[in-house]
Amino acid sequence: MTKKSCIALAALLLAACVTINIYFPAAAAEKAADKIIDEVWQLKDGEAAGGKGDTGSTDDRPATKPGATK
């Protein structure tokens, strides 16, 4: 009996492995998309700053200054 239930449990867990991996990870995909888009469109400074090689064209726009006139 114990042996059978152990096999059943093992099979169930194996099925769970497969199920988890089949579904498309929508949240992870969004996160990945955001990261790539930010880099391609250079939306966030600093994030790609650690890149090796070309460090020419990081646009240094002035960060938000407290006393900035409108």
Binding site for another protein (CB under 8 A): 2-3, 6-7, 9-10, 13-14, 16-17, 20-21, 24-26, 28-43
Query: Taking a C-beta distance cutoff of 8 angstroms, is the pair 63, 46 a contact?
Result: no
Taking the complex as a whole, how short is the minimal distance between the CB of residue 56 and another protein, in angstroms?
11
For CA atoms 34, 40, 46, 49, the dihedral sign is: positive
> Which residue number, 9 or 55, has a Cβ lying nearer to another protein?
9
Nearest 10 degrees: CA dihedral of 29, 31, 35, 40? 50
Residue 27 or 68 having the CB closest to another protein: 27
